[in-house]
Amino acid sequence: MEPKVIFETDRLVVRDWAVGDGDRVFDIYRRWEVSRWLGADPKVMAHRDAATRVIERWNERNQDPVYGVWAVEERATGTIAGTVMLVPLPDPSDGTESKGEIEIGWHFHPDAWGRGLATEAARGAIAHGFRAGLPEIYAVVRPDNSASLAVCRRLGMRALGRTNRWYGTELECFVI
């Protein structure tokens, strides 16, 4: 079964994950240069079988027509460049998923860096969210992640300053 396409851009097909994407997921998230920016306690993916489990978890989440964690595939080569997501931020009071504040995020393989793919994928995800009726979308970025801070600026997001409201760590917050 072909994975469901969520949206397309000039260079990208953004879709649900396929079981066959596991090697690439592992190759992305086993790298410290990617994983160091993720979560309150960053760590690399240690085993290939973890990629299969995370794909299953993401695809379960992707049942919602608006929210998801999706594969970003380069149209010209069929290579998975990374991940783009549109997900509810955790409720600050108890950490559960809230549908009030929605986050855009991206994680890309180093071989996809520097070509504008994260910006293109995020722009498409933001448009997808706005078409679904979302009034605003947030991005939260570690203060020293200059590449992701630059993506937020290229997207035209407005800086709101630093916060420790989500994920148990201090982050730069943006909104569009």
pLDDT, one tens digit per residue, over 73-121 is 999 999 999 999 999 998 776 656 666 899 999 999 999 999 999 999 9
pLDDT at 82: 98
Could you give all domains of the chain from N- to C-terminal order, each with its CATH number? 5-175 (3.40.630.30)
The rounded distance, in Å, linking the Cα atoms of 109 and 5 is 20
Tokens, residue 146: 């200059």
C-beta of residue 143 within 8 angstroms of C-beta of residue 171: yes
- The strand pairing partners of 70, in sequence order, are 84
Nearest Cα to Cα of residue 5 among 61, 62, 60, 87: 62
pLDDT for position 94: 62
Q: Are 26 and 48 in contact (CB under 8 A)?
A: yes
Of the pLDDT bands very low, low, confident and very high (cuts 50, 70, 90), residue 20 is very high
Helix (H, G, I), strand (E, B), or coil: what is residue 16? coil
The reported pTM is 0.93
Residue pLDDT, tens place only, 163-175: 998 888 899 999 9
pLDDT at 111: 97
